[in-house]
Structure 1
Amino acid sequence: MNLEPLATFHVLLDPVLDLGDSQWGQRRVVNITGGTFDGPRLSGVVLPGGADWQIVHADGTISIDTRYTLRTHDGAHLYITTSGVRHGPPGVLDRLARGEEVDPADYYFRLFCRFETGDERYRWLNRTLAVASAARAASAVRYDAYLLT
């Protein structure tokens, strides 16, 4: 198994909507407002309208669950889902929550990515898994995605 660079994603976000505690943990929704992605085999824009439906667990770990739409540079539409986890020391997580810049080496933020499309040019993505290393900024998430080959 190898990792092949796919693209760097820059996903723009609205402020966090806190829905409060549920039976699963503290439910939060973070709406996606746009963005870009660029890489050796995939580039284009992130369309507004998706979201991250997060759960913050008692220990501060966040379960990530995103769904949104991409438009490639040549007009194909792709559906992407990511699932993952973000955790770190409480002080680091507090700084992230306040929107401060934090070195991504100070916390763990990893994603698993799946794609779906009917466009023949990108149908190979339907049969491909990707992993990513991510970083959170005040109003965006940036992640480098790699194909598992």
Structure 2
Amino acid sequence: MPVLKIAALALSLAPVAVAAQGAPPAPQLEFMFEAEVLLAPRVEVGGTAFGQRGYIPIIGGTFSGPAIKGKVVPGGWDWQLQTSAGCSSLHADYFLQTDDGVMFNVVNHGQFCLEKGQPFTPAFTQPRFEAPMGRYGWLNHGAWISRLEGGKDPAHPSVVIRFYRAR
């Protein structure tokens, strides 16, 4: 019984010890690069038990940042599911090619909700990269987040995606 009382006392004092030391610093986001992804019109697949399914073909674009630059390879897609509540989940899968010819895969997941009649507001997504070992191997590591918003290209439907790594 005394052991249980000591354990209970230790647990009750634990938050006081953490508060005295101060909270650990919050992660910071470091901008890595921005992509403008050109899109073809949405292809409707149809209604499913989970919502309205469709996909948006990725037809090109460009990307650049402090340590990387190149083009969006045509042929990827954004596989989307829209619910009756106005929310969508996305699963984009595509390739980027650097100016020096190295290709790497991007798989980006996210969810956003639109209010009827309102313009698209930026959404946050979770990208994952698969890059060859070597010069761009740093893409394979760390925690990433991206911010997705409407594109800037007046000639094509597009989205702008800013990629950040947590530090």
2: CA distance between counterparts of 1:40 and 1:126?
Answer: 17
Partner of 2:141: 127
Partner of 1:97: none
Percent identical residues: 32
Partner of 1:76: 102
TM-score in terms of structure 1 length: 0.86
Partner of 2:20: none
Gaps of 5+ in 2: 1-26
Residue 46 of structure 2 aligns to which amino acid in structure 1?
G
1: CA distance between counterparts of 2:143 and 2:102?
Answer: 19
Question: Aligned-pair distance for 1:116?
Answer: 0.2
1: CA distance between counterparts of 2:133 and 2:72?
Answer: 17
**Secondary structure of the structure 1 residue equivalent to 2:136:** helix
* Structure-2 change in CA distance of 1:9 and 1:133 (3 Å): same
1: CA distance between counterparts of 2:37 and 2:82?
Answer: 20
Gaps of 5+ in 1: 93-101
Please show how residues 18-29 of structure 1 align to structure 2 within 5 Å.
18-29=44-55
1: CA distance between counterparts of 2:141 and 2:162?
Answer: 19
* Greater Rg over alpha carbons, structure: 2
In the comparison of the two structures, how many residue pairs are matched? 137
Question: Aligned-pair distance for 1:108?
Answer: 4.4
Residue 150 of structure 2 aligns to which amino acid in structure 1?
R
Larger CA deviation: 125-134 vs 11-20? 125-134
Partner of 1:148: 166
| 8 Å contact from structure 2 (residues 58, 77) kept in 1 | yes
| 8 Å contact from structure 1 (residues 77, 119) kept in 2 | no
Partner of 1:98: none
2: CA distance between counterparts of 1:122 and 1:36?
Answer: 17
Partner of 2:66: 40
Partner of 2:75: 49
Partner of 1:89: 115
**Secondary structure of the structure 2 residue equivalent to 1:124:** helix
Please show how residues 88-127 of structure 1 align to structure 2 within 5 Å.
88-92=114-118, 102=119, 107-127=121-141
Residue 70 of structure 2 aligns to which amino acid in structure 1?
G
TM-score in terms of structure 2 length: 0.77
| 8 Å contact from structure 1 (residues 27, 54) kept in 2 | yes
Deviations 1:18-73 (A, max 9, x none): 11111221001100000001111221100000000000012111101000001012
Question: Aligned-pair distance for 1:17?
Answer: 0.5
Residue 36 of structure 1 aligns to which amino acid in structure 2?
T
Residue 166 of structure 2 aligns to which amino acid in structure 1?
L
| 8 Å contact from structure 2 (residues 122, 150) kept in 1 | no
Q: Which protein has greater RCO, CA pairs closer than 8 Å, 6+ apart?
A: 1
